[in-house]
Amino acid sequence: ESNEEQQLMVFPNPVKDMVSIEGMNVAEIEVYNVLGAKVKSFTNTNRINVEDMPKGVYLLRIADSEGNFFLEKIIKE
């Protein structure tokens, strides 16, 4: 039995402008603020620009091409 865990990397964190996601085939990224409101969404990219977002904590909901979802917290400086 193999238990292959995907090595999802979201960096840099904290971030000033660009966030990179490695370790998966990204289909969609949704960015949520601490109140749970969606503030941005991106499709088919492993790099997202958060330069115009206010400083704070955000949650990335990352979907891969197979429909799996991953949640990652980022801090915007």
- For the segment 32-72, what is each residue's pLDDT rounded down to a tens digit? 999 999 999 999 999 999 999 999 999 999 999 898 999 99
9-11, strands of its sheet edge to edge: 9-11, 18-22, 47-49
What pLDDT is recorded for position 5?
A: 55
Give 72's Cβ-side CA count (13 Å radius).
23
Q: Is the pLDDT of residue 11 over 50?
A: yes
Q: Is the pLDDT of residue 3 over 60?
A: no
Taking only the tens place, the pLDDT of each residue in 17-26 is 999 999 989 9
What pLDDT is recorded for position 7?
A: 80
